[in-house]
Structure 1
Amino acid sequence: MPEGHSVHRIARQFDRNFIGKTLHASSPQGRFAEGAAVLDGREAVSVKAVGKQMFLEAEGDLWLRVHLGLYGAWDFAGEILLDPTIASANGRMGQTNQRGTDPDLLDDAQILDDVGENSLASIGAPRRTRVHVRMSEQTKGLEDEGAEWPPPIVGQVRLRLMTDITAADLRGPTACVLQTPDEMLATVAKLGPDPLVGDPAENEERFVRAVRKKGTAIALLLMDQSVVSGIGNVYRAEMLYRARLNPHTPGKAVPEEIVRQLWEDWARLLPLGVETGQMMTMDDLSPADYRAAMASRDDRHWVYHRAGLPCRVCGTEIVLEELGARKLYWCPRCQA
């Protein structure tokens, strides 16, 4: 499932390429035909991400709510204006860690994720193919003046949004619905705090209160979108390891300082994920190790997807179990 960083990247992509422009909307698949007809011809006014959901405002007090779920993705085509705060499609980026970006480690060579997680062309669930992207004049490479326009429909496209030069195709979402302003606000009100939305201090207190009052395992609470927004399976496992916290500990039994540490860690990791397009959770890597991590998820995490392999710190075999119908990875020694 796409986690919070991906949805924030999608929102920024829409902000740069669709806001202030007239939307041409259609539903090639047909399942959102009525909604697309309502959207068609309206100007895109604003966009925001909260956790794993994106909200696109159109003129006339209308909101499009999209939840990608397990399999959803947005595929972009045409001329794309890059958000300068996130990594570009060609994968050029430098070392990013808890202290920020180190300019001495910038490299012109490509650092491309093996499943395209940092792709400009497709954001969401991994895709084997990518829709063609013709970069704008503000970027370099990937230009192809002979590309077909509008791009052909590929697969089951729930919703296609277009401007005169940019297209965005939505495939496989859990939710794609139109809402009134009140309905949108009611949806957001049910979501837990997102470090990139709202007041930082208030967000932290909301998270601490929600965790400390529940007897539910902390591993389940971190995945509960009413407790905290945006955390999925990868970030959940990694944050618990980074805190050296047993995933089965009841929320109310987790010391308050550890709960705050979890929030502070999420508030660091989420912006890094938005910037790079990848869920980097290891710190202080050498340049070579960082490049390997950016190219392969298996080199990027402490415990996630490492079942049966030795813990990077203590050597104990990483455990895989099912909790809440999702896979949980953890080290039984470091997180005892």
Structure 2
Amino acid sequence: MPEGHSVHRIARQFDRNFVGRPVLASSPQGRFVEGAALLDGREAVSVRAVGKQMFLAFEDDLWLRVHLGMYGAWDFAGEIIIDPTIASSNGRIGHTNQRGTIVEDEPILDSAGENSLTSIGAPRRTRVHVRMSEQTTGLPEDDGEWPPPVVGQVRLRLLTEVTCADLRGPTACELQSPDQVAATIAKLGPDPLVDDIAEGEERFTALVRRKPTPIGLLLMDQTVVSGIGNVYRAELLYRARLDPHTPGRDVPEEVVRGLWRDWVRLLSIGVETGQMMTMDDLDPDAWRAAMASRDDRHWVYHRTGLPCRTCGTAIVMEEMGARKLYWCPYCQR
């Protein structure tokens, strides 16, 4: 499932390439025909991401709500203009001209399934696949045909004169009124990229500190905090040296606040780089290796049975909240 950093990056992709333009909408799969008909020909006027959900506004107060869920994906094709606010930590993600041609240093490619640093701004006529953590996949390059042929089960296709976005397999794809959007967002926990950070900290701390639920479940509860998924949960808990089974109300207040502040930092890094980097103080070579390989990027996630990077104890994996939780039973005592 895409975590918060990916959804914010996808929203920025829409902001750069769809907002302010009339959009043709269709449902090749046939499961969103009526909704697509209402969107067809309208101008996209704004976009926002909150946690794992994206809201794309059209003329006449019509909003498209998309939650990718476990299997959803956006495929972008055509001329893609990169968001200039997104760059790698060394400022070398590259840039595009107004026609979408990319200019950059040699990209850092990720063989572990997450995106390269170029995935947010694709070269002209190259299809970019945004799934899970935004990986660029082996979808074939377009052969010049426009619009590009429909591949697979496309719930919704949004098309401008030069850019195409295909949505597949989302958990939610629906139209909402402004009041419905507000009600949906009101049910979500604070998002550091949406809410006032200080107010978000107070709200998050108050919610956690009054609940008997294990902190490992609370971090995945989108009504408590928005955007945290399985990777960030495991890494945040390890970085705090916190036992995942500790009831929220038993976690010291300063630790809860530390979790929020660490989430603010890690989310920012994720949006900037496109990858869930949770290791600190890496030298340039180690940083580049981590950008290219998940194995070098995380403390505990996906490291079942491997020695803890700090103490050497074997990392444990267990089921918590129907998802795999990775943690160190020594460091997180």
Same fold (TM over 0.5): yes
1:77 match:
77
Correspondent of 1:123 among 98, 120, 130: 130
Q: Percent identity among equivalent residues?
A: 72
1:192 aligned partner, one-letter code: G
Contact 1:95 1:290 (8 Å CA) reproduced: no
1:16 aligned partner, one-letter code: R
Give the superposition deviation at 1:131.
6.0
> What CA RMSD, in Å, does the superposition of the two structures yield over aligned residues?
1.6
Report the 3-state secondary structure (helix = DSSP H, G, I; strand = E; otherwise coil) of the residue aligned with 1:60: helix
Take 1:252 and 1:71, find their aligned partners in 2: how far apart are those partners? 33
Give the superposition deviation at 1:113.
1.4
Give the superposition deviation at 1:306.
0.2
Matches within 5 A, 1:9-158: 9-87=9-87, 93-95=88-90, 108-114=105-111, 115-118=113-116, 119-120=119-120, 121-125=128-132, 128-130=137-139, 132=141, 147-158=144-155
Q: TM-score, normalised by structure 2?
A: 0.90
Take 1:282 and 1:299, find their aligned partners in 2: how far apart are those partners? 8
Matches within 5 A, 1:126-275: 128-130=137-139, 132=141, 147-275=144-272
- Where in structure 2 are there 5+ consecutive unaligned residues? 94-103, 121-127
Give the superposition deviation at 1:210.
0.6
Report the 3-state secondary structure (helix = DSSP H, G, I; strand = E; otherwise coil) of the residue aligned with 1:80: coil
Contact 2:114 2:275 (8 Å CA) reproduced: no
Take 1:213 and 1:83, find their aligned partners in 2: how far apart are those partners? 40
Take 1:7 and 1:221, find their aligned partners in 2: how far apart are those partners? 20
Moved over 4 A (4+): none
Contact 2:65 2:172 (8 Å CA) reproduced: yes
1:90 match:
none
Q: TM-score, normalised by structure 1?
A: 0.89
Take 2:59 and 2:24, find their aligned partners in 1: how far apart are those partners? 13
Counterparts in 2 of 1:199 and 1:94: CA distance versus 1, 3 Å: closer
Take 1:202 and 1:94, find their aligned partners in 2: how far apart are those partners? 27
Take 1:22 and 1:127, find their aligned partners in 2: how far apart are those partners? 27
Aligned positions, number: 310
Counterparts in 2 of 1:298 and 1:95: CA distance versus 1, 3 Å: farther
Contact 1:122 1:131 (8 Å CA) reproduced: no
